[in-house]
Chain A
Amino acid sequence: MLLKNFKRVALGVGLAVALTGTAQAEKVLRVGNDGEPQSMDPHYISTVQTSRISDDMTLGLLTYGQDGEPIAGAAESWTISEDGKTYTFKIRDHMWSDGTPVTAHDFVYAWQRILKPDTGAEYASLLYIIEGAEDVNTGKGGPEVLAAEAVDDKTLRVQLTAAAPYFLAQLTHQTAFPVPRHMVEKHGRDWTKPENIVVNGPYKLVNWTPNVSTELVKNDKFYDAENVAIDRVIYYSMEDRTAIQKRFRAGEIDVGRDIASEQIDWLRENMADSLRIAPYAGIYYYVFRSDTEPFNDVRVRKALSMAINREVITDKVLRTGELPAYSFVPPGTGNYGEPQYADWKGEPYGEVFEKAKGLLAEAGYGPDKPLKVTLRYNTSENHKRIAVAVQSMWKKLGVNAELFNTDGKIHYSDLKQGDFQVARAGWIADYNDAQNFLFLLETKTGPINYSKFGSEKFDGLMAEAGAVVDLGQRAKILGEAEAVAMEGQPIAPIYYYVSKQLVSPNVVGWVDNAPDRHVTRFLDLKQ
């Protein structure tokens, strides 16, 4: 009897130990994500906070490697035609998480879906480089005019409108992700609910509680599952940067995707081993409404841009490692060489300031006729601090800048309608290519060419670059275009963005990179 009981107890203890053993062995990565995700459907994603989650679940033809560079994903190989316009992809032998094989048809279906006008996808225009895409999206043609064709289950052929060396990098973006046709057609809008969703990437959604977290578990059907170390990822939705910092300090999260910048000194002193600041592919700039008075005069634009002491803004105002910007394309951008800097870069600020004064006087402004402008910015403590600093720099130049603050929605709506004189704007690259910055100043870009730059020379060079296959040649032409923009200063670049985050020393495999992509499949945790 006693022995029997003992056996039972021993069995129970053994089982308990075994269970705790498994529980301990599960590796859970906890990420403080600085925003609530929008959707688990790649076609409805437009924020970077959501795409971090999506990148863990779906494999595009190409995908982000550990260093943020594109690597083979759902396509195992590809060939490019000589004119650079036809791409043929060989789809990797892999399957959706329900065991259905992933085929070229899934990609064709997905691209047609995102482009169909009634899908109402915000980001569909990123695929316009594919022949016929724009026609589908604007309703001029049915989905069949899209030049993406499944030659067979494993072969996908895509025809581009122009040779675009950035096309491969673009395929890492969620707009080009496949969706499982069989599930989308079966469940409609609900296909992304945890009980329905199927994925072809390393992780699968198990729970999404709005305002709390999104939880993913390892997908055992993932083709490279044996090399995925982390079993579970929890993305906590945290708008509040101070809360991210506190949870990180308390050891409740392993990664904080943003920091409270005002506490940078404290962080540098106390958490130096976790603080990660790295160049990020983005530009913070001021845009001049360059087709109306007073900014239709290039001398006024240049004078105001030259009078901004960028080093003061990055080193005294921001102090979080941002770099002063003298070009529109950040250094290190793909398929490009050294950016074309404004010609006063490197000269002492005092001299540049005197030149600016001269330019403004030439344009007819001075003590008798002071220049008055309105400087607009959207609500943010940093935008305000920068605007105040710039206001005082311009004051010394004899320019009275009135500051005008509105919330983001009003700000961007007015910018599109051209209702401003000088305004704050920013751009983070969608894919790593100089064209993704420079197109913002092209006339054909329409309302988001906020400055209404309209330089024929610039537009001509951009069109020329779009038709060139040779990468070196293309980079040279894009460089010439940027030089035109820097001469005309329709925008005043202020600083290049940096990514700022907290990464616990326990996280292994985190490589700082310009696109700021850190897919969980390449990470591990020290036990």
Chain B
Amino acid sequence: MLSYALRRLITTIPTLFVIITVAFFMMRLAPGGPFDSDRALPPEIEKNIMAAYDLDKPLVEQYFLYLGRILTADFGPSLKIRDFSVGELILSGAPASMQLGLSAIVLALVIGVSLGTLAALRQNTGADFSIMTVSMIGIAVPNFVMAPFLSLVFGIYLNLLPTSGWGGGALQYKIMPIIALALPQIAYVARLTRGSMVEVLHSNYVRTARAKGLREQLVVVRHALKGAIMPVVSYLGPATAAVMTGSVVIESIFGVPGIGTYFVNAALNRDYPLVMGVVIIYAVLIMLLNLLVDLLYAVLDPKVRYV
């Protein structure tokens, strides 16, 4: 398994290279530049600025300059927040995004799997219908509705939690963003778990386990759940990467100092180095998590063996 993991890690390098290349050129194909705004610049000033950032050089030359720089872990300066380099911005924002994302995923896993299992065991009963209805709502209500709603109820009407802000990372500031991030994930995980659980509960090995006279609790937790969790595990890879890199909606509504905002704002601002920085982070994260998921398969499913 170790050699498999190593091989997979090595193949990420060419993949990453392709992603960087495609992202670099696609971004530069987008019309408009970082310094186009309602305060249009006189041509001579624009020339000065372009030169200051090497943006006046031929595109291919800029590409190789960029490649050279990222090899030394230099992501360049941000074109919009000029007092920080892209590296500094990502380093300052990543901890908040990752903390929130990881907490939300753990929450989603615990609650989602429990609810999904319960629904499957009580298939076609009131409990099943209510859990599935609630999770359907969880999926259908976008977080730009859910987040302001939570903040209005808990922040203003009940006055239990701060409406937004970070407060240096104090727990009460994190509760609402975590819940808002976790809700749709809980709903997905619950539906996935229920679906595969229903199937597994009717399979032969579960029937055998029951026939052997095992306690229902053991049948469900040790035998059925182990099989039923597979789709959830494969969903978790990309989902974790997505929540850990932050959400622009949650971050701007709750004032979280994460990196999620950069995905959208950097692209809209044509802040080229920042766009590249977040693309690389996201790509690396998603490749690592997918690898982790594949390795988890081997642990969970005796049929999967890596050599």
Contact = CB atoms under 8 A, between A and B. Distances in A.
A243 interface: yes
Nearest to A424: B38
A413 B48 contact: no
Contacts of B43: 446-447
Contacts of B270: 409
Interface stretch (B28-36, B118-126, B284-292): B28-36
A416 B93 contact: no
A409 B31 contact: yes
A226 B151 CA distance: 40
A250 B258 contact: no
Nearest to B248: A239
Contacts of B89: 210
A495 B257 CA distance: 36
Interface string B235-259: 0000000000000000111111110
Contact of A46 (B39, B84, B151, B269): B39
Contact of A118 (B32, B52, B163, B269): B52
B33 A448 contact: no
A209 B269 CA distance: 20
A236 interface: yes
Interface string B4-38: 00000000000000000000000000111111111
B214 interface: no
Interface residues of B, number: 54
Given A210-B93, A246-B152, A427 B257 contact: no
A120 B166 CA distance: 34
B82 A44 contact: yes
A252 interface: yes
A408 B80 CA distance: 15
Interface stretch (A32-40, A70-78, A103-111, A505-513): A32-40
A44 B82 CA distance: 7
Contact of A243 (B35, B41, B82, B255): B255
Nearest to A39: B82
A254 B30 CA distance: 40
A122 B41 contact: yes
Interface stretch (B109-117, B154-162, B195-203): B154-162
A208 B81 CA distance: 11
B48 A252 contact: no
Interface in A129-165: 137-138
Nearest to A44: B82
B53 interface: yes
Nearest to A118: B52
B50 to A, nearest CB: 8
Contact of B255 (A44, A137, A236, A447): A236
Given A252-B163, A425-B38, A240 B253 contact: yes
A155 B83 CA distance: 32
A20 interface: no
A407 B48 contact: no
A237 to B, nearest CB: 8
A473 interface: no
Given A243-B253, A415-B40, A211 B53 contact: no
A412 B261 contact: no
B208 interface: no
A212 B48 contact: no
Interface in A424-452: 425-427, 446-448
A192 interface: yes
Contacts of A210: 81, 84, 89, 92-93, 257
B162 A252 contact: yes
Contacts of B163: 243, 246-247, 249-250, 252
Nearest to A134: B44
A514 B6 CA distance: 64
Contact of A38 (B48, B49, B82, B253): B82
A240 B252 contact: yes
B268 A413 contact: no
Given A246-B156, A409-B269, A425-B38, A39 B81 contact: yes
Nearest to B268: A407
B155 A250 contact: yes
Contacts of A122: 35, 39, 41, 45, 49
A80 interface: no
B135 interface: no
B211 to A, nearest CB: 58
A412 B82 contact: no
A138 B44 contact: yes
A159 B26 CA distance: 48
Interface string A59-91: 000000000000000000000000000000000
A98 B32 CA distance: 43
B185 interface: no
A39 B85 CA distance: 12
A31 B207 CA distance: 64
Given A212-B255, A407-B268, A426-B38, A117 B81 contact: no
Nearest to B162: A252
Contact of A119 (B38, B52, B252, B258): B52
A141 to B, nearest CB: 13
A526 B52 CA distance: 47
Given A252-B165, A448-B40, A408 B268 contact: yes
B42 interface: yes
B148 interface: yes
A399 interface: no
Given A36-B81, A243-B252, A249 B156 contact: yes
Given A247-B164, A252-B163, A125 B45 contact: yes
Contact of A211 (B37, B42, B258): B258
B266 to A, nearest CB: 11
A238 B261 CA distance: 11
A246 B164 contact: yes
Contacts of B261: 211, 239
Contacts of A413: 31-33, 36
Interface string B161-200: 0111110000000000000000000000000000000000
23 contacts: A36-B81, A37-B81, A38-B83, A39-B82, A118-B48, A119-B52, A121-B48, A210-B84, A210-B257, A211-B93, A212-B166, A246-B155, A249-B156, A250-B156, A250-B162, A252-B164, A409-B34, A409-B37, A409-B269, A410-B30, A410-B32, A412-B37, A412-B38
Closest 4 CB pairs of A and B: A409-B32, A120-B52, A448-B40, A413-B32
Given A210-B92, A412-B32, 4 more contacts: A252-B163, A407-B32, A408-B268, A426-B38
Interface of B: 30-45, 47-49, 51-53, 80-84, 89, 92-93, 148, 151-152, 155-156, 159, 162-166, 251-258, 261, 265, 268-270
